[in-house]
Amino acid sequence: KVRWEACPKCQNRMKTNELHDEHELQSWFISEIGSFLASHDRKLIGWDEILEGGLPDGATVQSWRGMDGGRNAVAMGRNAIMSPTSHCYFDYPIESIDLEQVYGFEPEPEDLAGSGRILGGECNMWTERAPQDLVDSKVFPRMVAMSEVLWGAKQKRNWYDFQQRMGWHYHRLDA
């Protein structure tokens, strides 16, 4: 948005549409994109920045800067996908987000349980930040843990049992 402050086209669009700041400009643009997608039977999903300046109708929030983006979306009656950097960014070093941390991720926090608005989670692997020869080792085995978190029953999750099962997965991953 810093660039938009100095951009004559952006400033003109703000003036034409009576937008007060760059946050409203972003919201206007996201709304335009949302309308375009809806006209093509598609739905808008946006990183949690789309909450800044007003959330367009029907938009789903991808909460990456912690869980608050998802909480805010649910409070507004919108859906959310949880992918906080603390648990879901597999381009981060294993030392930062290890297997146990991924396995401990809870995409639907207690205060939002039963809302029906948390669609699930997502793990991210931004390959431009990782040497290509390390991508597989960054994704696996964390993807195995995330799969169980997102597709398994929360009540059945057990770290000790998971560690035991990982022995079998390590043989498959080595192959």
| pLDDT surpasses 80 at 129 | no
- Give the residue among 174, 95, 107 at the shortest CA–CA distance from 140: 174
Half-sphere exposure of 32 (CA within 13 A, CB side): 8
pLDDT in tens, 23-57: 899 989 999 999 999 999 999 999 999 998 778 88
Task: Write the single-letter amino acid at 175.
Answer: A
Q: What percentage of residues in the chain have a pLDDT greater than 70?
A: 100
Name residue, tokens 């375009």: 36
Mean of the per-residue pLDDT values of the chain: 93
- pTM for the full predicted model: 0.88
**What does the DSSP 8-state code read for residue 56?**
P
Q: Is the pLDDT of residue 132 over 90?
A: no
Displacement of CA 80 from its chain's centroid (Å): 8
Q: What is the mean pLDDT of residues 147-174?
A: 91
